[in-house]
Chains A and B, each alone.
Chain A
């Protein structure tokens, strides 16, 4: 399957600042990537579907102006959390859509907003 990396693995920032998280598909051309959010002891919640060269599709309740997604190439999608607040602290995970509905997941990025 595809190898997916995320950078950074952990980030701590001050309230009001913006944070960019990168998701890279290392050995697979990813037309579609997904961004998830995982709270402690809870499931993964899909935030948005990122399609290369077009605007991301956001799930209901996810603020597109707060969580900016850019999928400029077949190997890179970025999630920018703008004006982060403590309630945005979470584990953010990306995945790459492989063939036949299979997704390959990155290792996640733990964001802590002070």
Chain B
């Protein structure tokens, strides 16, 4: 079955530190990839997505992610985090065979940024 794995359950960083959150998926075919963010008390928001083309995708708030097909990975990065980036981050996948556009989510990574 398709699955999405996020390696880090909880990441704690100081402001200005660089961030990389890992995401791996199990499906071998063509996939659409997403990163969503859930700030405390708020709803899920789309950070960025990859469908095709340039494997380095830039999203909102200075985030970017790189699709590496050979590694089945879609890691999220930010060069310098801010306290306001404290949130839960979810990687998600849709494959063309995943009928109806169903999203499969990873377990989530909680990011805590210390001021």
Contacts and interface: CB of A to CB of B under 8 A. Distances in A.
B94 to A, nearest CB: 5
Contact of B103 (A46, A57, A106, A108): A46
A31 to B, nearest CB: 11
A101 B94 contact: yes
Interface residues of A, number: 24
Given A49-B100, A108-B43, A43 B106 contact: yes
Interface of A: 1, 4, 32, 34, 41-46, 49, 57, 93, 95, 97, 100-108
Chain B interface category by residue count: 20 to 34
Contacts of B36: 105
A93 B87 CA distance: 17
A102 B59 CA distance: 14
A99 B22 CA distance: 27
Nearest to B42: A107
User: What's the dominant secondary structure at chain A's contact region?
Assistant: strand
Interface stretch (B12-20, B44-52, B78-86): B44-52
Contact of B105 (A41, A44, A106, A108): A44
B7 interface: no
A42 B108 contact: yes
A51 B36 CA distance: 23
27 contacts: A1-B46, A4-B43, A32-B100, A34-B102, A41-B110, A42-B107, A43-B105, A44-B44, A44-B103, A45-B105, A46-B103, A46-B104, A49-B100, A93-B43, A93-B44, A97-B101, A100-B51, A101-B32, A101-B49, A101-B101, A103-B103, A105-B36, A105-B44, A105-B45, A107-B42, A107-B43, A108-B43
